A and B are shown apart, each in its own frame.
Chain A
Amino acid sequence: MSLRPVKIDGRRLRSERTKQLIIEAYLALAQELSPRVPTAAEIAERAGYSVRSIFERFPDIRALQVAVVDYSFAQISALAPPRGGGADGDRKTRIEAHVLTRGQTCDRWLRLWRSLIVNQGDSPELRERIRLSRDRVTARMELMFAPELAMMQPEERRQVLIALEALTDVESRARMREFFGLSVDEACLVWTQGIDRLLPKNSGEAP
Chain B
Amino acid sequence: MSTIHDPAPRPTAPIIKIDGRRLRSERTKQLIVEAYLALVRENPATPAPTAADIAARAGYSVRSVFERFPHLHTLRVAAADYGLAHAAALAPARDIDGDRSTRIRSHVETRAGTCERGVALWRALLFTVDENDALKVRMKVARERTIERMELMYRPELSVLPATERRNLLIAFEAMTDIESWARLRDMYGLSFAEGCALWIAAVNRMLPHAPEGAPAS
Spell out A's residues near B (CB within 8 Å): 35, 118, 121-122, 131, 134, 156, 159-160, 162-163, 165-167, 169, 171-172, 175-176, 179-180, 182, 189-191, 193-194, 197-198
Q: How many A-B residue pairs have CB under 8 A?
A: 75
**Whole-angstrom distance from the CB of A37 to the nearest CB of chain B?**
12
> Can you list 10 A-B contacts (CB < 8 A)?
A134-B188, A159-B198, A160-B203, A162-B189, A163-B202, A165-B184, A166-B176, A166-B184, A190-B171, A193-B165
The CA of A198 and the CA of B189, in the complex, are separated in Å by 19
Asked if B45 and A172 sit within 8 Å, CB to CB, the answer is: no
- List of A residues within 8 angstroms of B66 by Cβ: none
Name B198's closest neighbour in chain A (CB-CB): A159
**Whole-angstrom distance from the CB of A133 to the nearest CB of chain B?**
11
The listed residue (A121, A163, A176) touching B171 by CB distance below 8 A is: A176
Asked if B175 and A172 sit within 8 Å, CB to CB, the answer is: yes
Interface residue count for B (Cβ, 8 Å)?
A: 28
Task: Please report whether the interface of chain A is mostly helix, strand, loop or mixed according to DSSP.
Answer: helix
- List of B residues within 8 angstroms of A171 by Cβ: 178, 180
With an 8 A cutoff between CB atoms, is B140 at the interface?
A: yes
The CA of A148 and the CA of B206, in the complex, are separated in Å by 14
**Whole-angstrom distance from the CB of A20 to the nearest CB of chain B?**
30
The listed residue (B45, B180, B199) touching A163 by CB distance below 8 A is: B199
The listed residue (B130, B165, B168, B202) touching A159 by CB distance below 8 A is: B202
Closest 7 CB pairs of A and B: A194-B172, A172-B175, A163-B203, A166-B181, A197-B207, A190-B168, A159-B199
Asked if B207 and A194 sit within 8 Å, CB to CB, the answer is: yes
Q: A179 and B143 in contact (CB under 8 A), knowing A193-B168, A198-B203? A: yes
Q: A131 and B188 in contact (CB under 8 A), knowing A166-B175, A198-B207? A: yes
- List of B residues within 8 angstroms of A182 by Cβ: 171
Spell out B's residues near A (CB within 8 Å): 45, 126-127, 130, 140, 143, 165, 168-169, 171-172, 174-176, 178, 180-181, 184-185, 188-189, 198-200, 202-203, 206-207
**Whole-angstrom distance from the CB of B98 to the nearest CB of chain A?**
22
- List of B residues within 8 angstroms of A175 by Cβ: 143, 171, 174-175
The CA of A30 and the CA of B44, in the complex, are separated in Å by 22
Q: A167 and B172 in contact (CB under 8 A), knowing A156-B202, A162-B199, A193-B165? A: yes
The CA of A118 and the CA of B122, in the complex, are separated in Å by 12
Name B201's closest neighbour in chain A (CB-CB): A159
The listed residue (B45, B126, B143) touching A121 by CB distance below 8 A is: B45
